[in-house]
Amino acid sequence: MKKVVVGVSGGVDSAVALYLLKKDGFNVEGLFMRNWDSSINNDSEGMQLAENICPQEEDYNDALKVCNDLGVKLHRVDFIKEYWDYVFKYFLDELAKGRTPNPDMLCNRFIKFDLFIKEAKKLGADYIATGHYAKIKDGKLYRAKDNNKDQTYFLADVKAEMFENVLFPIGDYTKDEVRQIALEQNLAVAKKKDSTGICFIGERHYQQFVQNYLKPNPGDIINVETGDVIGRHQGLMNYTIGQRRNVGIGGNKDKHFVCGKDTKNNLLYVTFKEEYLESDECLIDNVNFISEARPTDCTAKFRYRGIDYPVSLEYLDNNEIRVRYPEKVKAVTPGQACVLYQGEECLGCGFIKEVRKNGEKLWYIS
């Protein structure tokens, strides 16, 4: 009987993945990862207790209930230092540069599909499984049945060889179907709401949370069209290109967007014209291919749950690709991932280094 070690998070998706694998006759064990400690990591919000239990321990208790109900052994491992070193430090460094990082992608690459796999192998695993909405076919990564929940965007930076013995049991189910299974099996987390926020950290008041680690540095907000000062920002790390809400120009009801950051002079630029956000090509670096395919034409997503845009690819030196898109796209943001697809297959990704329009580099971040 093949042994599968399942990443059990305390949520409904991993609980149903665990149930489905046991139902299919696998020898199943659970492994709970503890990657964040609010007291160690100076996370004052995370130390606010729910029923005298911090959120991370509450998740562990939920994972334990599920495993006990299903008759499955649950192991526990701490990757707190590794998460800080490989994920959170990068997150802070990118914010300090004015860029918009995606810690969930690094979490998948360095924690869930590296350290977790190594730990599972110590337990004798033939396969590892998670509650991701995605599919693996012949070592290739494909979108999940549920387009709204599909998580291939966040998996696109994982090294191809890490998918060799991975199972995604809920990839062929919709979220509603997963909930229904959990209810039918009376799983303890059947009605638990989905986790949101930063990977393994959860929901936080974003600006207050970031200020625990990066010193606030208020500055002027500039109307890019007129050069006028129209407000004050609370630190450039709190804003992203294309942002509309909570920008800091209270009382102005005209439609406006963050369109640039001058990190040297600590200025935030805002536009009232959407065309300032448009681009027709970008340069991506640190490219990771999961597939062996190297197409010149495919589609790309520039943000999670964004639409697919037709693009053409020009392969450059230094593991960079120039991505051109005939339809102008708004708010393609340095630091974010550009994830490439060919039909339902996720080919891989790169990270947006610079953005251009009509052949000129846009100064979103300077």
Tell me the CATH number at 123: 3.40.50.620
Rg (Cα) of the chain, in Å, rounded?
Answer: 22
What confidence tens digit (pLDDT) does each residue in 128-141 have? 999 999 999 988 99
Looking at the structure, tell me whether residues 120 and 266 fall in a common domain.
no
Decide if pLDDT at 252 tops 90. Answer: no
Decide if pLDDT at 36 tops 90. Answer: no
Q: Is 107 tagged catalytic?
A: yes
What confidence tens digit (pLDDT) does each residue in 180-223 have? 999 999 999 999 888 766 776 666 777 788 888 888 899 999 99
3-class DSSP assignment, residue 259:
strand
For the chain, give the percent of residues with pLDDT over 70. Answer: 93
Residue at a domain's end among 272, 292, 308: 272
Residue at a domain's end among 162, 184, 206: 184
Looking at the structure, tell me whether residues 267 and 346 fall in a common domain.
no
124, 4 in Cβ contact below 8 A? no
What are the DSSP calls for 199-237, one per residue? TTTB---HHHHHTTTS----EEEEETTT--EEEEES-GG
Looking at the structure, tell me whether residues 168 and 285 fall in a common domain.
no
Give the chain's mean pLDDT: 91
Looking at the structure, tell me whether residues 14 and 139 fall in a common domain.
yes
pLDDT at 205: 75
Looking at the structure, tell me whether residues 284 and 225 fall in a common domain.
no
Looking at the structure, tell me whether residues 223 and 324 fall in a common domain.
no
Decide if pLDDT at 33 tops 80. Answer: yes
Write out the two tokens for 146.
């549920």
Give the domain extent around 262.
215-272
pLDDT at 45: 65
Torsion sign over Cα 95, 98, 104, 106: negative
Q: Is residue 314 part of a domain?
A: yes
pLDDT level of residue 52 (50, 70, 90 thresholds): low
Q: Which of 199, 259, 298, 346 is catalytic?
A: 199
pLDDT at 200: 62
The total domain count for the chain is 3
Q: Is residue 191 part of a domain?
A: no
State the pairing for strand pair 3-7/127-129: parallel
270, 256 in Cβ contact below 8 A? yes
Looking at the structure, tell me whether residues 301 and 158 fall in a common domain.
no
Residue at a domain's end among 234, 255, 272: 272
pLDDT level of residue 255 (50, 70, 90 thresholds): confident
Decide if pLDDT at 247 tops 90. Answer: no
> Sheet harboring 219-223: ordered strands across?
229-233, 219-223, 267-271, 257-262
Q: Is residue 225 part of a domain?
A: yes
pTM across the whole model = 0.92
Tell me the CATH number at 332: 2.40.30.10
Region 108-125: mean pLDDT is 96
pLDDT at 349: 98
Looking at the structure, tell me whether residues 10 and 133 fall in a common domain.
yes
Task: Write the DSSP symbol of residue 109.
Answer: I
For the chain, give the percent of residues with pLDDT over 90. Answer: 75
Q: Is residue 206 part of a domain?
A: no
What confidence tens digit (pLDDT) does each residue in 319-337 have? 999 999 999 999 999 999 9
Looking at the structure, tell me whether residues 78 and 7 fall in a common domain.
yes
Q: Is residue 252 part of a domain?
A: yes
Looking at the structure, tell me whether residues 30 and 162 fall in a common domain.
yes
Residue with tokens 């033939």: 126
Q: Is residue 196 part of a domain?
A: no
Q: Is residue 203 part of a domain?
A: no
Neighbour-count burial of 207, counting CB atoms closer than 10 A to its CB (0-12 exposed, 13-18 middle, 19+ buried): middle
pLDDT at 177: 98
* Cβ contacts of 92 within 8 Å, gap of 6 or more: 213, 214
Q: Which of 54, 67, 107, 298 is catalytic?
A: 107
Tell me the CATH number at 245: 2.30.30.280
Least confident of 5-19, 83-97, 193-207: 193-207
222, 270 in Cβ contact below 8 A? yes
pLDDT level of residue 351 (50, 70, 90 thresholds): very high
Residue 86 region by backbone torsions, left for phi larger than 0, else alpha for psi between -120 and 50, else beta: alpha
Looking at the structure, tell me whether residues 288 and 267 fall in a common domain.
no
Q: Is residue 297 part of a domain?
A: yes
Region 137-155: mean pLDDT is 96
Looking at the structure, tell me whether residues 125 and 265 fall in a common domain.
no
